[in-house]
Amino acid sequence: MSTRISGTEGYAEEARFLVERWKNISFESQHQIVLDLIPTVTSKVLDIGSGIGTDAAAFFAMGHQVVAVEPTEELRTPGIELHMEYGIEWLDDSLPDLSILRARKEAFDVIMLTAVWMHLDEVQRCRAMPVIASLLSAAGIIIMSLRHGPVPNGRRMFEVTAAETIELAALQGLQLVLNIRTQSVSIENRIAGVSWTRLAFRR
């Protein structure tokens, strides 16, 4: 059993259910609105909070080099098993510090944070944004989603505004290129009143 990282509460306990649920959500349906922001040439992609690796596998299939970061072993292991045919590099690391990844001193052309940012409290978000910015290449892009709506039982989530996130990014010299509010692709989430804000930033 892995040590619980702040923000991952509830995921290990529900991993079996979540794996089956997430397997039915395609990359294209979830990310249609940001597909035109993804490079068409081979690029280095960092998928933070990759879960079972749906995004990571899609990026690899596009021809990109992919590092998938997932701190919850009960999600990371099924993700590795589901996508064994892909050359994804998996890391057990976590926000806000990403200490293992930062020690490698790499830069990434795409940094993806799908359904991750809401797990960080205000202090952690302030610590995390400079870390993410430090991992971005000169011409790179950060694509992220903010969750809005009721918090499932047993989870640790915070209501995070687009305005706060844009301000934190601006402090790191990141310019907003996308800010769109969307409904959830999950029927269960839509019924529950969950929506998302999709944000993207460049230097």
Cα distance between residue 41 and residue 166, in whole Å = 27
pLDDT for 8 equals: 53
Other CB atoms within 10 Å distance of the CB of residue 68: 28
What is the spatial distance between Cα 152 and Cα 38, in angstroms, rounded to a whole number? 31
Residue 67 falls within a domain, yes or no?
A: yes
Work out how many domains the chain is built from and give that number: 1
Is pLDDT larger for residue 161 or for residue 30? 161
Is residue 139 in a domain?
Answer: yes
Instruction: Convert the pLDDT of each residue in 82-91 to its tens digit.
Output: 899 899 999 9
* Side-chain-side CA neighbours of residue 50 (13 Å): 32
Q: At what angle do helices 73-82 and 15-22 cross, to 10 degrees?
A: 40
Residue 1 belongs to some domain of the structure: no
- Residue 113 CA to residue 35 CA, distance in Å, equals 14
Q: What is the CATH number of the domain that holds 75?
A: 3.40.50.150
Average pLDDT over residues 12-23: 60
Residue 74's nearest CA partner among 8, 161, 151 is 8
Within-domain flag for 146: yes
> pTM of the entire structure?
0.89
Mean pLDDT score, 117-128: 96
Query: Does some domain include residue 4?
Result: no
Q: Which range of residues forms the domain containing residue 38?
A: 15-202
Residue 2 lies in a domain: no
Residue 120 and residue 78: Cα distance in Å, rounded? 24
Residue 6 inside a domain? The answer is: no
Which pLDDT score is estimated for 2? 41
Quick: pLDDT tens for 25-83: 778 888 999 999 999 999 999 999 988 899 999 999 999 999 999 998 888 999 999 89
Name the pLDDT band for 13 (thresholds 50, 70, 90). Answer: low
List the beta bridge partners of residue 141: 110, 202
